[in-house]
Amino acid sequence: MPERPLTPTSHLILGLVDTLGPCTVYDMKQLVNISIGMFWSFPHSQLYSEPARLVDDGLLSEHQEQTGRRRRILKLTRAGRKALNEWRQSPTDVKTELRDEGLLQLFFADPADTDAIVALAEARRKFHEDRVSMLKDIQNEVKDKAESTKLRTMELGFLFEKSAARFWADVAKNPPGPE
Amino acid sequence: MPERPLTPTSHLILGLVDTLGPCTVYDMKQLVNISIGMFWSFPHSQLYSEPARLVDDGLLSEHQEQTGRRRRILKLTRAGRKALNEWRQSPTDVKTELRDEGLLQLFFADPADTDAIVALAEARRKFHEDRVSMLKDIQNEVKDKAESTKLRTMELGFLFEKSAARFWADVAKNPPGPE
DNA sequence: GGGTACATGTAATCAGTTACATGATTTA
DNA sequence: TAAATCATGTAACTGATTACATGTACCC
């Protein structure tokens, strides 16, 4: 059995099952939606397909209900917990992916077309400001329940959205021009 | 011919060919490496496969050298320029993907294991600080040659790396703990 | 003239994404 | 009890990633 290299998605699932205890995919989806999923999209089909692989790998066990919705309950196996803990002890050296199509548009904007640049900047500023307030709402709702590490994680996202909003406001006010 | 929806990678290629004029994939790779590719990874095989699709779509034309390395020279077609300009006029409403495995590790860190958290934070702080200085070097080198829009784009990346470095320094100094 | 790094691609795998489909619960 | 929404999945596609492969130019 040449073991499959685990992806970030694998570790996400392992971490979620550890956080939630035995749980369904839907439970995981709920948690992802209001936390890490705010910054890193994990479509729900991934949350189904990856556990299936992890069961094959022996890192999760699954138990299907015999009644009602026949949901699958997922649990960490001993090997799964071991894999999770090893990952926890090895800080990654992978660079952050900052994939922003708005930035791509700025990169390829025509410096002579100031109107387009300002329109882009205004749209993105508003976008990031809306996200700042969404994040505030979420934070208020979870701040008493969530673990300290999870709250802390949300902070970097928060910082990013705020500097992005400021950045685009500045671009709108003082757009790059020709020459 | 139902036209294929263009991806960010498609627009990247179209934009690069517009910026560089008729060029090879390698020319594009060089530019990507010192700019947008610092934040959004585009493996070079993508820079080969996507132009092939765009040629199929009629958005690029290609002309292979008959001698030497038989490189392929790529050019925007009229339809390609039209597609690029339409994209330029339509600010995206797609959210920024901030994919950071270090953050994932913080999210799933054990609040009781302060040592692991501090080690993670130190590693990531150093990582982002190194990137800040890489970016400074690049900026110094290109600041007289590059277009204003392209320089401006790099700034958000720069801001991000700086706040990430600060964030992790703070986590190291004042790590989230149990209870 | 042999080694090394640059340049140019191809192939195969696999994960990510979108779309589809439908059953179970709640609410009007 | 019908409509709406929540919940739970599957399937097909295709793009992203990794690995492989080889040619060309330059340097020692």
How far is the alpha carbon of A35 from chain B, nearest alpha carbon, in Å? 9
Quickly state the pLDDT bin for A2 (edges 50, 70, 90).
low
Using CB atoms within 10 Å of the CB of residue B151, give its burial: 0 to 12 exposed, 13 to 18 middle, 19+ buried.
Answer: middle
Question: Regarding beta strands A97-99 and A72-76, do their DSSP bridges make them parallel or antiparallel, or are they unpaired?
Answer: unpaired
Decide: A141 and A163 in contact? Cβ < 8 Å.
no
Nearest residue to B26 (alpha-carbon basis) of B69, B55, B56, B60: B69
Strand C and A4 CB separated by under 7 Å: yes
Contact B4, B54 (CB under 8 A): no
Q: How confident is the model at residue B69 (pLDDT cuts 50, 70, 90)?
A: low
- Mean pLDDT, rounded, of chain A: 94
Task: Show which residues sit with Cβ under 7 A of nucleic chain D.
Answer: A 24-27, 44-45, 48-49, 52, 64, 69-72; B 4, 7-9, 41-43, 45-46, 49-50, 53, 68-69
| Percent of chain A with pLDDT strictly greater than 90 | 88
Write the CA distances from B84 to B51, B90, B141, integer angstroms.
Answer: 14, 10, 28
Residue A108 to residue B93, Cβ atoms within 8 A: no
Contact B106, B120 (CB under 8 A): yes
Nearest to B37 by CA among B9, B59, B17, B60: B9
pLDDT at B71 (0 to 100): 83
Q: Which helix (H) or strand (E) holds B133?
A: helix B114-142
- Report the pLDDT value the prediction gives residue B1, as an integer from 0 to 100: 47
* Of the partner residues B40, B97, B167, the one whose CB lies closest to the CB of residue A159: B167
For residues B43, B51, A104, B127, the Cα torsion angle rounded to the nearest 10 degrees is 10
Check pLDDT > 90 for residue B70.
Answer: no
Most B CBs within 10 Å: which of A110, A160, A163, A170, as the mutation test of the B interface?
A160
Residue of A41, A7, A47 lying closest to A27 (CA atoms): A47
Place of tokens 């040659």: B145
- B80-109: average pLDDT: 97
Confidence grade of residue B64 (pLDDT, cut at 50, 70, 90):
confident
Q: Which residue is nearest to nucleotide C19 (CA to C1')?
A: A45
Looking at the predicted structure, is the pLDDT value of residue B127 above 90? yes
pLDDT tens-place string over residues A117-160: 999 999 999 999 999 999 999 999 898 989 999 999 999 999 99
pLDDT tens digit string along A44-82?
999 999 999 999 999 999 988 766 667 899 999 999 999
Which nucleotide does the CA of B29 lie closest to, via C1'? C7
Query: Are the beta carbons of B149 and A116 separated by less than 8 Å?
Result: no
Residue A10 amino acid letter: S
- Cβ of A153 < 7 Å from strand C? no
Give the dihedral sign, CA A50/A96/B9/B93. positive
Per DSSP, the three-state class of B45 is: helix
Residue A108 in contact with partner chain B when CB distance is under 8 A: yes
User: What is the C-alpha to C-alpha distance for residues B20 and B40, in angstroms, rounded to an integer?
Assistant: 19
Whether the pTM exceeds 0.85: the reply is yes
pLDDT, residue A1, reads 46
On average, the pLDDT of chain B sits at: 94
